[in-house]
Amino acid sequence: MKIGLLALQGAVAPHADAFGALGAATTEVRTPDQLNDVDALVIPGGESTTMSKLLVTSGLADPLAERLAGGMPAMGTCAGMIVLADEVLDGRADQRSFGAIDVTVRRNAFGRQVDSFEADLDVAGLATPFHAVFIRAPFVEGVGSGVEVLASTSGHPVLCRQGSVIVSAFHPELTDDLRIHQLFLSLT
């Protein structure tokens, strides 16, 4: 299993470190050929509109859509959640989302950069809380019938799974707790 890390923009290295600590092979993805060479993809945090534009200019947008539609496992954190969502609220009109998970996401829902926070989350399937870091985070406003909400905070889902796609509004790569990355590996 080779995990691709979308490396156009955002927090790539911390994800590589987390998966490496779990013994998983990772590689950076910047081109369609590199995308074709991976079994699963992580879309990191960053800035979702910038990421959306870079997916187009790199030629990755359509190949990524095809791979996701074909069932490629994917993990999206923060901006990655927005990119993988079915619907994005408060996004730009030209911002593309890939519909890999049936959720409606609101960008920057918890507020601006100064409103970033940390919280201990009760995560379905984990014995102890997960300490989560939220930075200009989105949250889920609606989920489809096939989506499992794994964690919520302030009444909003922030960790969801549908099949082999998992999305988080927070940054699990910014902690030493590898359980969210391990959960993704268990889905692939």
35 is in which domain, residue-wise? 2-187
Number of domains in the chain: 1
CATH code where residue 51 lies: 3.40.50.880
Check whether 24 has a pLDDT greater than 80.
yes
Check whether 84 has a pLDDT greater than 70.
yes
Q: Which residues are catalytic?
A: 78, 171, 173
3-state secondary structure string, the chain?
CEEEEECCCCCCHHHHHHHHHCCCEEEEECCHHHHHCCCEEEECCCCHHHHHHHHHHCCCHHHHHHHHHCCCCEEEECHHHHHHEEEEECCCCCCCCCCCEEEEEECCCCCCHHHCEEEEECCCCCCCCEEEEECCCCEEEEECCCCEEEEEECCEEEEEEECCEEEECCCHHHCCCCHHHHHHHHHC
Q: What is the pLDDT of residues 97-117, one digit of tens each?
A: 899 999 999 877 666 666 677
Q: What is the pLDDT of residues 120-134, one digit of tens each?
A: 999 999 999 999 998
